[in-house]
C-alpha cells in the first residue's frame, strides 16, 4: 500500500510525499454504546487501514485529496471552515487540525495531503477514526512535534465530537490507537484507561457488510446519546456507568419508556463487557459467543439500533457450525455484522449466508475475513 499511495501522490501533486502514516479501522467486539456512557468496551484493530501521505509547502497553501473523490480541495492556511458537498470528507483531517490547535499542539502551515483507505466505508468499522489518527500523525511529523498516544487519541475524538459533530465516545479512536495484533483493546472509558486482552488461539473474525445506510451524523446516534443522558439524569447519576439494575428498577416509573429501554441496554451491556473479559482470559470462546448474541438481542430490543438486514445475518450466523456468536458492530442503524468463529467456519459457509441474504434482500453482503492489526503508526517521517 505504501508504494501505491506514493505513486498516487506523485500523480496528483507531481512530487514525492515526505511523510506517510496509517491507522486501522476497528471492530467493536462488545460494548455497544457504552463508551459515551462512561462504561467499558472491547474492540479489535483491523489489518485494514486509512493511509495518509503528506508533503510540506512553504507558501501556506493546504491542499487535500483522497481516493474516494476526484479533484483537489484547497483551503487557506490558518482557516478551519467546515466543508460541504463533495468536500465534506475533508472535515475529518480539517477537524484534526482544529483540535490540534485548540489543544496547543503545533500544526504545519502548508502542505499537500492525500488519503487512501482499505477500510470499507459506512460499515461500522470506523474509517473516520482511522483517518483522524493517521492525519494527526502526519500533521505532527510535518510540524516536527509529537504527543503521547493518549493525547493522539483525544485529538481524534475532539475532532469528531466538536468539528464533525458526532458525539461518540473514545472507543473508535482508542482502539485505532492502541490496537495490537492478536489482542483486544479494553477501554475503561471514564478514565479513559487502556489495556489489552489476549485473543484466544483459533479465534476468527468474519464481517458481513450490508452496505445499508450507516450515517451516524444523521441524528440517530445523537438521539440515542440524548436519551441516555436523559435516563442518567432521572436515575440521579452522572453517567449510566454509575447506575445499577436496582436503581433502574426503582426509577422506572419516572422514566419515559424510551429512556428506560436505552438505560436497560447500556446497564446490561456494561455487565456483559466484564463477563466477556473474564471468559476471554479463561479461553472460553463458547461463553464469549453467548455474550455476543445477548448483546445483539439487547441492541435490537432495548436500544433499537439494529436493522432487518443485521438481524437476518445474526440469525443465519447463529445457526452455522463453527460460529461462537455474532452481533452488529459499531453504531448500528445498518452497517455490518461481526461473527466470532472457529476455524471450522470458512468461505463456503460465508457464501451460503450470502446467497440466503441475496434471496431475502436482493443483494449480497460484502464478506471480510478480518485479522487483527497494530494501531496508528508513522510509517515514514519527514526528511
CATH code (residue 145) = 3.30.230.10
Q: Is the pTM of this model over 0.85?
A: yes
Whether 172 is a known active-site residue: answer yes
Of 197, 215, 234, the one marking the end of a domain is 197
Domain range for 103 is 2-197
Distance from C-alpha of 189 to C-alpha of 170, rounded to nearest angstrom: 7
Q: In the structure grid, which three cell numbers stand for residue 49, read together?
A: 487501514
| Bridge partners of residue 20, in order along the sequence | 53, 380
Q: C-alpha angle with apex 243: 237 to 247, nearest 5 degrees? A: 100
Distance from C-alpha of 66 to C-alpha of 97, rounded to nearest angstrom: 17
Distance from C-alpha of 120 to C-alpha of 349, rounded to nearest angstrom: 22
Q: What is the pLDDT of residues 248-293, one digit of tens each?
A: 999 999 999 999 999 999 999 999 999 999 999 999 999 999 999 9
Q: Do 15 and 122 belong to one domain?
A: yes
pLDDT, position 375? 97
Res. 345 pLDDT band, cuts 50 70 90: very high
**Is residue 93 included in any domain, yes or no?**
yes
**Is residue 162 included in any domain, yes or no?**
yes
Q: Do 7 and 57 belong to one domain?
A: yes
Neighbours of 314 (CB within 10 A): 26
Contacts of 218 (CB under 8 A, 6+ apart): none
In the numeric block, the cell 508513522 is attached to 378
Res. 331 pLDDT band, cuts 50 70 90: confident
Q: Do 354 and 219 belong to one domain?
A: yes
Q: Do 134 and 232 belong to one domain?
A: no
Q: What is the pLDDT of residues 205-260, one digit of tens each?
A: 999 999 887 555 467 888 999 999 999 999 999 999 999 999 999 999 999 999 99
**Is residue 150 included in any domain, yes or no?**
yes
Of 197, 231, 255, the one marking the end of a domain is 197
Q: Do 52 and 157 belong to one domain?
A: yes
**Is residue 381 included in any domain, yes or no?**
no
Distance from C-alpha of 181 to C-alpha of 375, rounded to nearest angstrom: 9
Q: Do 66 and 177 belong to one domain?
A: yes
Q: Average pLDDT in the 339-349 region? A: 96
Q: Do 253 and 295 belong to one domain?
A: yes
SS3 (DSSP) at 142: helix
Distance from C-alpha of 145 to C-alpha of 165, rounded to nearest angstrom: 27
| Residue 66 backbone dihedrals phi, psi, to 5 degrees | -150, 175
**Is residue 258 included in any domain, yes or no?**
yes
Contact predicate 238/229, CB 8 Å: no
Highest mean pLDDT among 88-92, 160-164, 285-289: 285-289
Please give the tally of structural domains in the chain. Answer: 2
Q: Do 45 and 173 belong to one domain?
A: yes
**Is residue 376 included in any domain, yes or no?**
no
Q: Do 183 and 219 belong to one domain?
A: no
Of 197, 225, 241, the one marking the end of a domain is 197
Q: Do 192 and 131 belong to one domain?
A: yes
Catalytic residue among 172, 182, 268, 374: 172
Terminal Cα-to-Cα distance of the chain (whole angstroms): 20
Q: Do 213 and 187 belong to one domain?
A: no
**Is residue 353 included in any domain, yes or no?**
yes
**Is residue 382 included in any domain, yes or no?**
no
Amino acid at each position: 500500500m505504501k508504494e501505491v499511495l506514493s505513486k498516487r501522490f506523485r500523480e496528483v501533486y507531481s512530487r514525492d510525499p515526505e511523510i506517510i502514516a496509517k491507522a486501522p479501522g476497528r471492530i467493536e467486539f462488545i460494548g455497544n454504546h457504552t463508551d459515551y456512557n462512561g462504561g467499558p468496551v472491547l474492540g479489535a484493530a483491523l489489518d485494514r487501514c486509512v493511509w495518509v501521505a503528506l508533503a510540506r509547502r512553504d507558501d501556506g497553501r493546504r491542499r487535500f485529496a483522497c481516493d474516494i473523490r476526484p479533484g483537489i480541495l484547497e483551503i487557506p492556511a490558518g482557516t478551519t471552515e467546515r466543508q460541504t458537498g463533495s468536500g465534506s470528507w475533508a472535515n475529518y483531517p480539517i477537524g484534526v487540525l482544529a483540535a490540534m490547535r485548540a489543544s496547543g499542539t503545533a500544526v504545519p502551515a502548508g502542505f499537500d495531503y492525500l488519503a487512501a483507505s482499505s477500510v470499507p466505508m459506512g460499515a461500522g468499522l470506523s474509517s473516520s477514526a482511522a483517518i483522524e489518527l493517521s492525519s494527526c500523525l502526519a500533521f505532527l511529523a510535518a510540524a516536527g512535534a509529537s504527543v503521547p498516544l493518549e493525547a493522539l487519541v483525544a485529538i481524534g475524538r475532539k475532532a469528531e465530537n466538536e468539528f464533525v459533530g458526532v458525539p461518540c465516545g473514545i472507543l473508535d479512536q482508542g482502539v485505532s490507537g492502541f490496537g495490537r495484533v492478536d489482542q483486544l483493546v479494553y477501554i475503561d472509558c471514564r478514565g479513559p484507561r487502556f489495556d489489552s486482552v489476549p485473543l484466544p488461539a483459533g479465534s476468527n473474525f468474519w464481517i458481513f457488510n450490508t452496505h445499508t445506510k450507516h450515517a451516524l451524523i444523521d441524528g440517530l446516534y445523537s438521539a440515542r446519546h440524548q436519551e441516555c443522558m436523559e435516563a442518567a439524569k432521572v436515575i440521579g447519576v452522572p453517567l449510566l456507568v454509575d447506575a445499577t439494575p436496582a436503581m433502574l428498577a426503582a426509577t422506572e416509573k419516572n422514566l419515559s419508556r424510551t429512556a428506560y429501554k436505552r438505560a436497560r441496554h447500556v446497564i446490561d451491556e456494561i455487565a456483559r463487557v466484564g463477563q466477556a473479559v473474564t471468559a476471554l482470559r479463561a479461553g472460553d470462546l463458547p461463553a464469549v459467543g453467548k455474550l455476543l448474541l445477548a448483546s445483539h438481542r439487547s441492541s435490537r430490543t432495548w436500544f433499537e439500533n439494529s436493522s432487518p438486514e443485521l438481524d437476518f445475518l445474526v440469525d443465519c450466523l447463529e445457526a452455522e457450525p463453527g460460529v461462537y456468536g455474532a452481533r452488529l458492530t459499531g453504531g448500528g442503524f445498518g452497517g455490518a455484522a461481526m461473527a466470532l468463529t472457529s476455524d471450522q467456519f470458512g468461505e463456503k459457509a460465508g457464501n451460503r449466508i450470502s446467497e440466503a441474504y441475496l434471496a431475502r434482500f436482493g443483494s449480497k453482503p460484502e464478506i471480510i475475513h478480518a485479522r487483527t492489526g497494530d494501531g496508528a503508526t508513522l510509517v515514514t517521517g519527514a526528511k
